[in-house]
Amino acid sequence: MKETKPAGWRKLRRKMDNWPKPALLALVKDLYDFSPDNRDFLEARFQAEDNAGPALERYRGKIIEQFFPKRGYGKIKLSEASKSIRDYRKATGNLAGTIDLMLTFVENGTKFTSQYGDIDGPFYDSLRAVLDEMSELILYEGPGLYPLFRERIRHLTDQAGNIGWGFGGALRYYVGDLENKLAGEPSR
């Protein structure tokens, strides 16, 4: 039996080009009802200009849930938390919201290791990767956004203390770099 190849976006687009608006709305509604991920994506897309709001909070909740669920212990599925950041960014393109979610990721990862003790290298590598990407976004795409996040970012150095695996030092480096380049004063 021959396996059929998916139609692809171009083919679907051609079919939808002449659809009436009610049919397109019905399709979007079906997609919305089909899965929570679709629902979150669509709601975020229509709140793209908001730097806060229910969509951002839903994605933030998904990140926090990986570290500190309402019940039980965190499963720390960092790929799920990272996916929430990517999904939000893809849905909205909102830079401030994306930076906010990245900071939420690093804050909760730092809090988690402070509360539960040393984790492992891959855990800290994930935190460092998000911290690095967040720092790059602030420096090169949104330096004017730094004042919105400055206190939260500076507070991370207090939380990091002497966390191992080089994470505490990396965190202090990134915060110092942001402070030197964007605030004009050295970090604490």
Residue range 165-185, pLDDT digits in tens? 788 888 889 999 999 999 865
State the amino acid at position 13 in one-letter form: R
One domain for residues 61 and 16 = no
Regarding whether 83 and 31 lie in a shared domain, the answer is no
Asked if residue 170 belongs to a domain, the reply is: yes
The answer to whether the pTM exceeds 0.85 is: no
When divided into structural domains, the chain yields a total of 2
**110 and 158 co-located in one domain:** yes
- CA 57, 63, 104: angle at the middle one, nearest 5? 75
Tokens of 13: 């687009």
Amino acid at 37: D
Residue 44 half-sphere exposure, CB side, CA atoms within 13 Å? 26
DSSP secondary-structure letter at 133? H
Whether 5 is covered by a domain: the verdict is no
Residues 26 and 101 in one domain: no
Which domain covers residue 30, as residue numbers?
A: 10-36
Q: Do 93 and 19 sit in the same domain of this protein?
A: no
Rounded mean pLDDT of 120-133? 93
Interval 31-56 mean pLDDT:
75
> Quick check: is 1 in a domain?
no
Same domain membership, residue 75 and residue 14:
no
Shared domain check, 68 and 18: no
Task: Write down the mean pLDDT value for the chain.
Answer: 86
Note whether 69 and 113 are within 8 A (CB).
no
Residues 81 and 135 in one domain: yes
